[in-house]
């Protein structure tokens, strides 16, 4: 069952009808759990027991962390009892964090580490190596574990733990966000479920509009761009420098439209069930600094990295040098989280260095007024935007080609390299039906349309009214279904 698809539409419609027909909150929670388990089983039924065990384990650890201190202790023993209680909570927190982190490491990095030390061959599937070295990553495990760590850390910091297993399971398994986020906090989810009421017409329209917009992003645009990206990067040695630049730019657009399209469908689905999921993207390709980019790209992950890594490391409270070191550490961890290839580490390192340069530049601008005026001027803003997006789009190369041999080959052939004589004919004309210049123009037009939407939304504060959205919903869904490629590509972030 994929998002979007006709089967998912029927599933979502049936779930919504049953959800709003049920008379009380407890039954609604168990319906959400059952629907989420059915949804996950349609994708990876073999990992359903693992997900249930994780839900139960994190629920139990959360309850244990929140267990109160015994108030019947005599006064003379109070100080020692409090120390033992704090120590117990601390080790329970790290038990929960360790459980989630080690599980991620097992699925993401065991095979790579085994190959590194010579315990497993480069291709375990062909060499008959133990199944441990050839595991498929459970869908949604990364987001699941990140949410669990946030839940346990929040309880340790003083947030109340839920006493309802159904409430916690519905939060952890909620099917719209289960596979690729956005990352949500328990308290925000639980409070919405408690006070949920049947949505007004405007809310239903907004939910359906998000689903339709996500379908257009994914099926009509991202999957079409993906054809170009795959053809170009699968035939590296035949592509010329211009083709490599075009494919890198195209992948940046594909990644954004693919992931934000999924999130739109997830948020729209949740709205139909009376739940608002956090926004995950806010026009990130129109930011003029790398720090602002990370405030508007994969926003729920950025918040998680700040709250549960950057701030515990000391944030910006310990001087400029320590701040820069913290930024670099956080982004390296973000790169490692994305995968077990060195390209992801390089990608994280590049973003970390860019954040360090931005912080140093900001510190210098605070002391030197001419530099501050330069960045506030129109030429300075345009230059900052261009440099920021050049860094972001070029670093996506390591994301698409995490094997450093491949990405290194591309870097050394970005200038002065001619394409194979048949590359343009086979890739552009025969497969895509357009010349390279026409494709570049179309991609630029997509970027321009995104800029137009950004101007209306952020600059002019204009949005479509719900009656207009209601008229456009069937048009968008029909066009996305009619013009989608024959085979829908899996979401890129399913790999992470």
Alpha helix ranges (H) inside 314-465: 320-338, 342-367, 369-376, 378-400, 404-411, 423, 436-454
User: Which residues lie closer than 8 Å to 372 by C-beta, 6 or more apart?
Assistant: 365, 366
What spatial distance separates the first Cα and last Cα of the chain, rounded to whole Å?
Answer: 19
CB 152 within 8 A of CB 65: yes
Closest to 175 in 3D by CA, of 15, 412, 388, 411: 15
Q: Is 338 a catalytic residue?
A: yes
Choosing from 298, 338, 351, 358, the catalytic residue is 338
Calpha distance 222→490 (Å, rounded) = 11
DSSP 430-445: IIISS-HHHHHHHHHH
CA–CA dist 32, 170 (Å, integer): 6
Contacts of 287 (CB under 8 A, 6+ apart): 293, 295, 296, 385, 388
Radius of gyration of the CA atoms of the chain, in A: 24
Q: At what angle do helices 201-215 and 241-272 cross, to 10 degrees?
A: 160
Contacts of 331 (CB under 8 A, 6+ apart): 348, 349, 351, 352, 355
Cβ contact 343:399 at 8 Å: yes
266-283: b (≥16 Cβ within 10 Å) or e: bbbbbbbbbbebbebbbb
Say how many CA atoms lie within 13 Å of 479 toward its Cβ. Answer: 13
Query: Is the omega angle on the peptide bond into residue 75 within 30 degrees of 0, that is, cis?
Result: no
CB-CB neighbours of 382 under 10 Å: 11
Which residues participate in catalysis according to the annotation?
338
């Amino acid at each position: 069952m994929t998002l979007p698809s006709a089967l998912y539409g029927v599933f979502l419609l049936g779930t919504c009808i049953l959800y709003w027909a049920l008379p009380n909150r407890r039954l609604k929670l168990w319906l959400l759990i059952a629907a989420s388990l059915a949804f996950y089983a349609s994708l990876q039924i073999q990992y359903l027991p693992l997900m249930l065990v994780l839900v139960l384990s994190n629920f139990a650890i959360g309850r244990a962390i929140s267990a109160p201190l015994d108030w019947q202790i005599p006064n003379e023993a109070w100080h020692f009892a409090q120390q033992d209680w704090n120590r117990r909570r601390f080790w329970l927190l790290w038990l929960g964090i360790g459980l989630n982190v080690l599980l991620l490491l097992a699925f993401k990095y065991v095979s790579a580490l085994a190959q590194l030390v010579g315990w497993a061959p480069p291709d375990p599937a062909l060499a008959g190596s133990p199944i441990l070295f050839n595991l498929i990553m459970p869908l949604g495990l990364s987001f699941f574990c990140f949410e669990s760590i946030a839940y346990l850390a929040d309880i340790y910091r003083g947030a109340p733990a839920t006493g309802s297993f159904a409430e916690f399971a519905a939060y952890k398994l909620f099917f719209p966000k289960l596979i690729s986020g956005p990352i949500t906090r328990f308290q925000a989810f639980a409070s919405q479920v408690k006070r949920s009421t049947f949505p007004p017409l405007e809310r239903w329209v907004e939910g359906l509009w998000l689903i339709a917009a996500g379908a257009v992003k994914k099926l009509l645009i991202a999957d079409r761009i993906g054809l170009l990206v795959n053809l170009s990067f699968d035939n590296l040695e035949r592509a010329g420098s211009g083709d490599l630049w075009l494919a890198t730019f195209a992948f940046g657009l594909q990644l954004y439209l693919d992931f934000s399209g999924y999130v739109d469908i997830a948020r729209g689905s949740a709205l139909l069930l009376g739940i608002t999921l956090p926004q995950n993207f806010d026009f990130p390709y129109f930011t003029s600094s790398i720090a602002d980019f990370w405030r508007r790209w994969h926003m729920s992950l950025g918040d998680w990295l700040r709250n549960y890594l950057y701030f515990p490391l000391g944030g910006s409270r310990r001087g400029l040098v320590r701040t820069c070191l913290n930024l670099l550490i956080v982004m390296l961890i973000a790169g490692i989280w994305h995968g077990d290839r060195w390209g992801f580490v390089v990608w994280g390192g590049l973003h970390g260095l860019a954040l360090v340069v931005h912080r140093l530049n900001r510190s210098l601008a605070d002391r030197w007024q001419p530099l501050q005026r330069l960045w506030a001027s129109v030429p300075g803003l345009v230059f900052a935007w261009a440099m920021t997006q050049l860094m972001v789009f070029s670093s996506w190369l390591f994301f698409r080609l995490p094997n450093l041999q491949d990405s290194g080959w591309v870097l050394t052939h970005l200038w002065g390299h001619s394409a194979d004589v048949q590359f343009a004919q086979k890739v552009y004309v025969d497969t895509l039906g357009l010349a390279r210049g026409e494709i570049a123009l179309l991609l630029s037009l997509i970027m321009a349309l995104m800029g137009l939407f950004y101007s209306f939304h952020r600059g002019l504060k204009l949005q479509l009214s719900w009656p207009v959205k209601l008229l456009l919903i069937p048009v968008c869904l029909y066009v996305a279904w009619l013009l989608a490629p024959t085979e829908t590509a899996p979401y890129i972030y399913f790999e992470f």
